[in-house]
Amino acid sequence: MRSILRFGIAVVLSSGAAVALAADDKKEKDKPAPLPVTAKLIAKKKSYQLDLGGKTPEEYRKAIEEAKKTFRYPAPPEVDLTLELTNTSDKDVAIWSSGDPVQVILELKGKGAMSVQPAIAMTREFRVPQALMLPAGKSHTIAIKSLKYGMRGITQQAYWTDAGEYTLTARFMTGISPPPPDSKTVTEGFARVTLITKPVKLKVELKR
Q: Which residues contact 132 (CB under 8 A, 6 or more apart)?
A: 94, 95, 97, 140
> What's the pLDDT tens digit per position in 65-110?
999 888 889 999 999 999 999 999 999 999 999 999 999 999 999 9
How many percent of the chain have pLDDT more than 90? 70
pTM: 0.81
Please say whether the beta carbons of 145 and 78 come within 8 A: yes
Backbone angles phi, psi at 28, to 5 degrees: -65, -40
Regarding the domain delimited by 33-206, which CATH topology (the fold level of the hierarchy) does it fall under? Immunoglobulin-like (2.60.40)
Output the CA–CA distances (angstroms, integers) from residue 96 to 47, 100, 115, 174, in the order listed.
31, 10, 26, 5
User: Tens-digit pLDDT profile for the chain (208 aa)?
Assistant: 444 444 443 444 344 544 444 445 545 445 556 899 999 999 999 999 999 999 999 999 999 999 988 888 999 999 999 999 999 999 999 999 999 999 999 999 998 999 999 888 778 889 999 999 999 999 999 999 999 999 999 999 999 999 999 999 999 999 999 999 888 888 889 999 999 999 999 999 998 7
User: Dmax over Cα atoms in the chain, in whole Å?
Assistant: 86
From the number of C-beta atoms within 10 Å of its C-beta (0-12, 13-18, 19+), residue 149 rates as buried
* Predicted pLDDT at 124: 85
Domain ranges of the chain: 1-31, 33-206
Q: What is the pLDDT of residue 33?
A: 66
